[in-house]
Structure 1
């Protein structure tokens, strides 16, 4: 289906009839299917990239915490040279190529947590949507993004203003009204300053 507020992108998403909630409840290993829903920061970041393609055009992009691939797909549609979509969820890694194919683009997929190491070589821009929802995760992500900035990468963050957003390390670039989980919500895109 087309993404609310980002109709240029089509994604396989959860719906009440999809059975995803039943699968998640029946299988402890399945975990929470974060990738199967729309999140405000990702919606805002995808809209930002499509409205300002110069942010990614011709660049190698890392979509950190890619989930469904919305942000990475938007980057490819906006003219990114290539996108590496990274997520820790094996089900997200499985759906990423399906969503890319539905949009006529290709994404490189990395299954695993990149935040403990060095930024990947050859990346120009890092896009991060909705990864500041939990304290320890936010600390890891902020430290990693700091290393990315130190390595000369541009880092853009989409977030609705969660409690663990590192406000002292960001500058707001744009503001968007998005439809998160069927409800209007406000979310912003920030430049991460290091």
Structure 2
């Protein structure tokens, strides 16, 4: 019987070793799958980093061009509002276009991210072709101007009334104005 007990003990030990071997293989298999998942994630992060690096190299190659564009755009965005100079320039543009510059009114300024928007309403008298010449002048003007609305009111006379709602910009903070109405500043004939 001891021989039979010895054989049973051997079978039990072999069974335990087989089960332990299977469990160890399953644990190694799970560890391998986890490591493969980590490897795939790191490969994706490497690919993303390589893409970023390529983008940064492309930007570095364009840095001179971008600096030139920044300088040009900085010229279009003065440091001060310079309303007086703006009015003189609008008058010059109207004169070059053979239009009559009647009025300018400045609206409430809006502080945006890094610049201030200065809305203005301009009234001219002129015909269609003169208006086109004036718009050409604004296109090459040394300051950024955005036209929001343009309205032409026809008269029985030769000259039409041209109303332009526009905005110009400067790189500063909104200034506090003490009860001064800027709208009355620009009535011109």
Structure whose residues are more often strand by fraction:
1
TM-score normalized by the length of structure 1: 0.20
Q: Which protein is bigger by CA-based radius of gyration?
A: 2
